[in-house]
Chain A
């Protein structure tokens, strides 16, 4: 409440000074105006939260000033000061939008109480506004998500439908190729031409198949589906998806994925979404000529991951106790870095330092949510001017409640190896 902006308007200078001094003692500083015109002129320059306004003033009287204030500054609250004998003025004032009125002589405690109430009202309104804004942003985000989802449904349908005829073409081609190899056709004229044509068909089917599979990959439905994935392939795929931007911006992408990082049991689509978020952020933060490094490695549960070495993290403790093997994914850039005061905020929803068209402030919020859901942990280290590291640690086998123990027989999953 100390930073509340107060304006005290009364034609009696002595009265103003006394009140101002007393308010000061209670930690509130108030601007002063000697008449209505001055009050409005001051508000023009600096808006106030609460105006304490004498009604009986020469020139423009308090009620008139009140009308002006309420017309121009809806958020400003006005407390009227009326003479003892003129209660109707106070009532009139409230009808015109004043917060309340006090009769002179004013008791400081009453005044303070009223100021406090007025200020609380202002804050309530502000909170409401913020909430509405938040909701609107969320709704916009939902619209985007839904649009993507329905686009996904359509694309998935089309891809599935195309796969069936593709399978037929493929088998027919393979069959004809087999026939051409038969002894009875050894002397067939222009056999090579047929073989060439069939080869082309086969290749094109393969190409179309890749497209439909990628499409189906990309628009996976959104409820969590766990499967075994190869980390290296996942990284490769994510890089491929953001490659155009990288090339345009002349940024080098270095991959330091060790094959030993191997497979992990997790939600591939969500994890890829996280990687893409991190990569996009890194690209935004890095100037041309910069470098982004993606690395993966295995953490035996005793070894402290490099990026967590600074302090003990609960996730690490947990890993120790469960002795689950974990893998680490790092996205490192040589970009602008994140100032200390922002480091805590970047995972908050809608925190963004980018212009509205560019940033939603949801990338890291969503990413953290996903990683936590997958039983992992995401941390950041950054130095302004040098660069930023985001570090994800994930258990190699993530079990959800719906996945009972017996389903994770290793040989069983090996068969499913995707």
Chain B
């Protein structure tokens, strides 16, 4: 079976981390784009087609929570998995309230990450499927399809 790659954007100001996680995820068959700041993340989302964003919460400049808000406003269908420091549960809670799919403590367990990526991807697919169906219905009504 050929795996359909999930298009992932990894956002962290730690360049080495982004690079290593990207290489690892690519090796498991995903398609990863790196970003090193909140701004770069948002710019890339404008251009590229992304399914899931893995987003570090603690970044200089625009922090993860701000980026998350912006993503949810501008690209509501894109799912976000947050990377948080241990003991910052409040931030995780805030992120979940703002619509993040889930969160992981840094350093995260790779199996956990894979599982959550799959969940996020599935959620996004289903959401898109529903929208497609709704649109199809709308279209068939407009064109006077069978009632």
Which residues from chain A sit less than 8 Å from chain B, CB to CB? 156, 159-160, 163-164, 166-168, 170-172, 174-175, 178-179, 182, 205, 209, 212-213, 216-217, 220-221, 225, 227, 407, 412, 415-416, 418
Contacts and interface: CB of A to CB of B under 8 A. Distances in A.
Interface stretch (B45-53, B69-77, B83-91, B122-130): B83-91
The 6 closest A-B pairs by CB, nearest first: A167-B107, A171-B20, A175-B24, A216-B87, A178-B27, A216-B86
A172 B22 CA distance: 10
Contacts of A164: 14, 17, 106
A304 B64 CA distance: 48
A225 B17 CA distance: 29
Contacts of A167: 14, 17, 106-108
A18 to B, nearest CB: 77
Contact of A416 (B27, B89, B107, B108): B89
B28 A178 contact: yes
A160 B85 contact: yes
B27 to A, nearest CB: 4
A172 B20 CA distance: 5
B106 A174 contact: no
Contacts of A418: 89
B38 to A, nearest CB: 17
15 contacts: A163-B86, A163-B106, A163-B107, A164-B106, A167-B108, A171-B23, A171-B110, A175-B20, A178-B24, A178-B28, A213-B105, A216-B85, A217-B87, A407-B93, A412-B96
A178 B103 CA distance: 24
Nearest to B28: A178
A220 B96 contact: no
A205 B106 CA distance: 12
Contact of A156 (B87, B90, B102, B110): B87
Nearest to A209: B107
Interface string B11-35: 0001011001101100110000000
B142 interface: no
B97 interface: yes
B86 A217 contact: yes
Nearest to B89: A227
A168 B27 contact: no
B92 interface: yes
Nearest to A162: B107
A175 B96 contact: no
A172 B24 CA distance: 8
Looking at A156, A164, A205, the one whose CB has the most chain B CB atoms below 10 A away is: A164
B90 A175 contact: no
A156 B69 CA distance: 27
Interface in B35-65: none
Contacts of A174: 24, 110
A305 B28 CA distance: 53
Contacts of B96: 412, 415-416
A225 B110 contact: no
B87 A179 contact: no
A177 to B, nearest CB: 9
Nearest to B102: A415
A413 to B, nearest CB: 9
A108 B64 CA distance: 82
A205 B107 contact: yes
A168 B87 contact: no
A216 B93 CA distance: 18
B89 A213 contact: no
A415 B17 CA distance: 26
Contacts of A415: 96, 102
B56 to A, nearest CB: 9
Contact of A168 (B20, B28, B86): B20
Contacts of B105: 213
Nearest to A269: B87
A233 to B, nearest CB: 15
Contacts of B108: 167
A166 B107 contact: yes
Contacts of A160: 85-86
A182 B22 CA distance: 17
Interface in B100-147: 102-103, 105-108, 110
B85 to A, nearest CB: 5
Given A168-B17, A171-B20, A179-B27, A407 B97 contact: yes
A418 B102 CA distance: 12
Contacts of A225: 89-90
